[in-house]
Amino acid sequence: MPTPFYAPDFAAPVSSPWNSDQDETLRCVHIRQETHDVKTFVLAANGPRNFRYLPGQFLTLELEIGGEKINRCYTLSSTPTRPDLVSITVKRVPGGTVSNWLHDNVRVGMELGAMGPSGEFSCFKSPAKSYLFLSGGSGVTPLMSMARALHDLGSDADIVFVHCARTPADVLFAEELTLMARNMPHFRIALVCEQHTPGSNYAGHLGRLDAARLAHIAPDFMQRDVYTCGPAPFMAAVRGLLAGAGFDMPRYREESFSFETLVADAAHAPVNPEVAVENTEITYKIDLQKMGKSFTCPSDQTVLQASVAAGFRLPSSCSGGACGTCKTKKISGTVEMKHAGGIRQREIDQGWFLPCCSKPTSDIVMDR
């Protein structure tokens, strides 16, 4: 296999930051098999790029699977302190279209459409003295990114890093976590596995994370800023646990990392019915009348974003309501539009809108 390894010129000035508007693809340069069903895909830009992002943020991959365009968000497991590459760590999910496709099809040298990074889940947004990182399964990725960054930056942050997995064979990044704990004076790790794997030398906690176990692992958890990522039932359990203990919830932050994993894991995990209705997004149906096609748009996405996610390429350029390239007649429906001069009030009055800066507030029929 020809190696696509790209050695940056370390004597050259810092390369320009990666910009997903310009660098629309990333190239896989390395694949690591982390466990039997988890792979890390290491990605490079085409040409020297400086990846700048907040540890904990995610990328959106734009993939074409079975002739269909699919967008999927993946938290970066990499750290911006090693800026030449990014990585995502993906668990194979039974029935998961995208995760299985990534595992089965991505080869070194392949290009993947990518957008981002974006996301709000990062301890670098509101630094604290001490943290409790609670991860379930491959939800470890954003917390790993934060830990790697703090480690690389020589931080002496007080971190209790809890990683929960089904079995010791499913534990991710065990050796690296151990190394970071050795290098950082206030970094402690705790592993919690539901079951033992016969033959392993695992000596961590067995069972599930509950109040007693958390109090045992981190007796001062009430004083820590908590960051949680994992399957929805796991995060729901953590929320319940902390709220029950009287934790100051504004200092609790969580991230659902993969829709696919979330759904798949939820299917065979005990679901707390009180939690199931949370985070229900309103989505609207967008009809493209001339094309005779439709797609759904969550109320917190612009019509253009949703159309791109659904595989439609509507004309657009600035994505910010300035150029008006996406200007479209709205046959019916309502939107909340925040334009930047790309449309006139008269045009709005006549029914025109800019999909790039409009979030739906009802179903919409567009003249496209």
Partner 1 sequence: MTTTNATLSAQTLLTRELLARRRPGYSLEAPFYLSETILQTDMEHIFGKHWIFVAVEPQVPEAGDYITVDFGTNSILIVRDDDMNIQAFHNVCRHRGSRLCASQQGVVGNIVCPYHQWTYDLTGKLIHAKHMGDDFDPSGLGLKPVHIRNMAGLLFICLAENPPEDFEQMAAEMTPYIAPHQLSQCKVAAQIDIVEDCNWKLTMENNRECYHCMSNHPELTISLYEYGFGYQPNEDNKADLQRFQDIMAANHERWEGMGLPSAEIDTLDDRITGFRTQRLPIDRSGQSQTMNAEVASKKLLADFVDPALGGLSFWTQPNSWHHFMSDHIVSFTVLPISATKTLVRTTWCVHKDAVEGVDYTKENLTAVWNATNDQDRRLVEESQIGISTGAYQPGPYSPFTEGLVEKFCNWYVNRLSVLTR
Which residues in this chain contact partner 1 in the complex, by CB under 8 A? 16-17, 19, 21-22, 317-318, 320, 322-325, 339-344, 346-347
CA–CA dist 60, 309 (Å, integer): 10
Give least dist CB 344 to partner 1, A. Answer: 5
The residue among 167 and 325 lying less far from partner 1, judged by its C-beta, is 325
CA–CA dist 257, 254 (Å, integer): 9
C-alpha distance from residue 227 to each of 45, 134, 179, 230, 247 (Å): 29, 6, 21, 10, 13
The residue among 266 and 314 lying less far from partner 1, judged by its C-beta, is 314
Which two tokens mark 261? 């994993």
Give least dist CB 317 to partner 1, A. Answer: 4
Residue 70 φ/ψ region, left for φ over 0, alpha for ψ in the -120 to 50 degree band, beta for the rest = beta
The residue among 300 and 367 lying less far from partner 1, judged by its C-beta, is 367
Neighbours of 247 (CB within 10 A): 19
Give least dist CB 301 to partner 1, A. Answer: 21
Give least dist CB 45 to partner 1, A. Answer: 13
Closest CA to 117 of 39, 197, 52: 52
Give least dist CB 20 to partner 1, A. Answer: 12
CA–CA dist 324, 349 (Å, integer): 15
The residue among 17 and 207 lying less far from partner 1, judged by its C-beta, is 17
The residue among 163 and 339 lying less far from partner 1, judged by its C-beta, is 339
Give least dist CB 79 to partner 1, A. Answer: 22
CA–CA dist 294, 263 (Å, integer): 24
Give least dist CB 152 to partner 1, A. Answer: 24
Give least dist CB 136 to partner 1, A. Answer: 38
SS3 call for 368 = coil
The residue among 22 and 280 lying less far from partner 1, judged by its C-beta, is 22
Closest CA to 19 of 163, 131, 115: 115
The residue among 129 and 344 lying less far from partner 1, judged by its C-beta, is 344
C-alpha distance from residue 72 to each of 75, 98, 340, 342 (Å): 10, 8, 28, 30
The residue among 281 and 349 lying less far from partner 1, judged by its C-beta, is 349
Query: Would you say 43 and 88 are in contact if contact means Cβ atoms under 8 Å apart?
Result: yes
Which two tokens mark 139? 């939800």
Burial class from Cβ neighbours inside 10 Å (0-12, 13-18, 19+) for residue 136 reads buried
